[in-house]
Amino acid sequence: MHSVNSNGANIPALGFGTFRMPGADVLRVLPEALKLGFHHVDTAQIYGNEAEVGEAIHNSGVSRADIFLTTKVWVDKYAHRDFLASVDESLKKLRTDQVDLLLLHWPGGSDVPMAERIGALNEVHKAGKVRHIGVSNFNTAQMEEAVKLSDAPIATNQVEYHPYLDQTRVLQTARKHGMSITAYYAMANGKVPSDPLLKEIGARHGKTAAQVALRWLVQQKDVITLSKTATIDRLKENFAIFDFALGDGEMAEIHALARADGRIVNPEGLAPVWDKAA
C-alpha cells in the first residue's frame, strides 16, 4: 500500500473507519484488520468507541509506531479549555500519548471562533500530543481560513467522497496548500456495490464494484480513503485494491457518475454551505 504525503504526514492511502461501529464490533473486527495490514485507523470522540479502538490496538501485537491513528474533536469541545481536556481524555481512551492526526470534526454546531479552534489544535500539536492536525467537512473557504490561521500545516480535510459526488474544488484547494483529502462514505450508503458501470469495470479486472470505487479513490493524487466493514470476510476484499489499476478512460467514466444531488451526508447545523461542483 502506498502512503500519501500531506504536508509531512505520510498517511496510508487506505484506512479502516469505525463510524457507527459499536465497541464490540471494533474489538472483533479491528484486530483482524490490523493483522491483514490496515495500519491506518480512524475514530472520533463522538463515535463512542475510542476505548475499544485503543484496546484493540494495544492487544494486537502490531507496534503502535506502525499504526497511523486519527481521532476527531467533537463540536461541543471546541472552546479552548474543553478542547485540551477532551484531547487528554481521547489519549487516555486510545492508550497512547500521541495520536498521528487530530481533526476538527465539523465546522458548524459551535459558536467558538475558528481562530480559537485552530489555536487549540496548534497548542496540542506543539505539546506533542498530536503529530499532525487537520479538518473535516470543511468547504474551500473554511479550508483557506484554517490554513491562514494555523502555524502548523493542515494535513487533510476529511470529506464525503464517492463516484456520485464531485469534489474537484475541494481537491484543488487541498492541493494548492499541500493537503490531501480523506474520503469517507466511499460506498455511498450501499449504492456502489450494485452500480452497473462499476460492476462492469470490475468484471474486466476480476474485482467487485466496491473494489473499483476504492481503487478509483486511491488512484487519484492526494486522495486517501476510509473503508469500513463489520464483516471479517469483507476486510480482505476491501484491502485487495493495490494489485490492479484503472485505465484513464475507466477513471473518467467513474468521474462522470457524479450528479448534482449526489451528496448524502448533510446534517443541519453542523454542515457548511457546500461548494458547488466544478
Give the pLDDT score at 1.
87
Give the pLDDT score at 111.
96
Query: Which of 158, 151, 129 minimizes the C-alpha distance to 226?
Result: 158
The residues annotated with a catalytic role in the active site are 47
Give the pLDDT score at 277.
80
Query: Which of 225, 222, 221 minimizes the C-alpha distance to 213?
Result: 225
What parts of the chain have a pLDDT lower than 50? none
Domain 3-190+217-231 sits in which CATH superfamily?
A: NADP-dependent oxidoreductase domain (3.20.20.100)
- In this structure, the number of other CB atoms found within 10 A of the CB of residue 89 comes to 13
Q: Determine the Cα–Cα distance for residues 128 and 125; give it in Å rounded to an integer.
A: 5
CA atoms within 13 A on the CB side of 147: 18
CA atoms within 13 A on the CB side of 274: 23
- The DSSP result for 148-174, as a single string, is HH-SSPEEEEEEE-STTS--HHHHHHH
Per-residue pLDDT reduced to its tens digit, 82-134: 999 999 999 999 999 999 999 999 999 999 999 999 999 999 999 999 999 99
Cell of 159: 470529506
Give the pLDDT score at 278.
65
Whether 57 contacts 69, CB under 8 Å: yes
Mean pLDDT of the chain: 97
Q: Determine the Cα–Cα distance for residues 95 and 117; give it in Å rounded to an integer.
A: 24
Give the pLDDT score at 137.
98
